[in-house]
Chain A
Amino acid sequence: MVSNVKDTNIISISGLTKRFKNFAAVDNISFDVKKGEIFAFLGPNGAGKSTTIKMLTTLLEPTSGSVTINGHDPKNNKDAVRKSFGIVFQDPSLDIDMTALENLQYHAVLFKVPADIRKKRIEELLRFVELWDRKNDMVKTFSGGMKRRLEMARGLLHHPKIIFLDEPTLGLDPQTRNHIWNYLLEINQKEGMTIFFSTHYMEEAEKVAQRIAIIDHGRIVAIGSTAELEEKTKTATLEEAYIALTGSVIREEQVNGSDRMRLMGRMMGRN
């Protein structure tokens, strides 16, 4: 695979913080992502991944710190930021009472895909994710994998410069996961689209990501290529490096019942 990474930053994050009451979900993080880069954002549940992605995608106001997306600041130029990216959310976000086609038409209008190319572009993407035959079916009749593919098509519809994928392959079988990544890598190669994704599958990150950031307790604990992370932690695989850095096994046992309840409450309350 030819690297398509340019030398300019498409995402810059500096001192980004989000507090919910007394709890810092994201605590003073800073890093950059380069144009065309495939960037993985890893961390245990509740570490602050989704909160960070929400702040990068204008869904949540940061408590402090600054963000630049494709040269724009979400604070004062939300629409320019919104035009720059596509997103596949962690939770489903389709209207299941509309057809696949209608879901894409809705998105195309909201994202200002010009009317004259709208039809062509929708067909192109539905064929791309192999849902063209099902275009007039209600989304509620779709399997989990089909919904995911449709969300992928939707996220790519308006030719975004960046695609954010929040655990895009969660709960999908390996065939579908492979399929989805093949689409994404193809577009990354052809159009230089930056990919920013979070996942719990270490082998997925190892395989496709050029750089990886690991977040835990709202802080970035490590950032670099797989090789750099392995070297830093003196381990042989990304998974080992990840566990060395986040130590999840040991920490889980130390968490008592009421902590877990609180964590659950926070997660459910926020998402």
Chain B
Amino acid sequence: MSTIYILWLRQVKKYFRAKSRIIGSLGQPLLFLLVFGFGFGAIFQQAGQGNYLQFLTSGIIMMSVLFTAIFSGIDLIWDKQFGFLKETMVAPVPRWQIMLGKTVGGATVASIQGVIVFVLALFVGFKISDPLMLPVALLFIILIALLFTSLGVAIASIIEDMQGFQLIMNFMVMPIFFLSGALFPLQGLPTALEVVTRIDPLTYGVDGIRSALGGVGSFGMGMDMMVIVIVAVIFLGVGTYLFEKIQA
């Protein structure tokens, strides 16, 4: 337990110390909310889908969680390159605890980031319909954060340096975001696209938090929750497996 705690603490401490990074990482979601929210607002309304900002906010919260979670997992590569990982690896503790501490720490940071974006959205004009559902929305944020931090750790376990980073960004992270229904409704899509959106785990996170925050969901929150939990457990397992195989 203390192992997991100290790894968590390190991650959270470093997050709060890098103030400029926190502010920097809020620029993108804010830009998306303002530009897309108001830019596409009129068309969305005309198409009979209601207020776009109400729709978009859930997607942008999850975008923020996705990016922060993946990066918090992947920054394991820095530990690898700067040698700090070796120090952790010679410690007499099971590696799954190290992996879990790292993941929970990264997920905490990503969840905080998601909550900050939610608060920003309130300032921009987002309205919640039922405050009692906020804990459910938070639960979705936390689960998605855990899911993608484990994925980040899994990736960092098998790649050696940051050179593959661009590849991961363009061929994995961006598609996960764009194909999740964060920006557009999932109804009436071409079949191929529909299939892909159903495979994307973020789809269920966006759908779940959208329902919880008062919007219209496609799958129902129970279903969303179930899919996310199952995928998160699988990713945690894969991440742990790959992490245990790292040789320094």
Contact = CB atoms under 8 A, between A and B. Distances in A.
A83 B90 CA distance: 9
A93 B91 contact: no
Contact of A110 (B17, B79, B88, B247): B88
A82 B92 contact: yes
Interface of A: 54, 57-61, 78-80, 82-83, 85, 87, 89, 91-98, 102, 105-107, 109-112, 115, 154
Given A60-B247, A60-B248, A89 B86 contact: yes
A78 B90 CA distance: 9
Contacts, number: 70
Contact of B14 (A82, A93, A97): A97
A57 B6 CA distance: 23
Given A89-B83, A96-B82, A110-B3, A59 B247 contact: yes
A64 B165 CA distance: 35
B82 A112 contact: no
B76 to A, nearest CB: 13
Contacts of A58: 89-90
A102 B91 CA distance: 16
B93 A91 contact: no
A154 B247 CA distance: 22
Contacts of B198: none
B84 A82 contact: no
Contacts of B89: 58-59
B13 interface: yes
A161 B247 CA distance: 24
A57 to B, nearest CB: 6
Nearest to B91: A110
Contacts of A78: 92
16 contacts: A58-B89, A59-B90, A59-B247, A60-B248, A61-B247, A82-B92, A83-B92, A87-B90, A89-B86, A92-B83, A94-B84, A96-B82, A98-B10, A109-B5, A110-B92, A154-B87
Given A54-B248, A59-B89, A92 B82 contact: yes
B6 A109 contact: yes
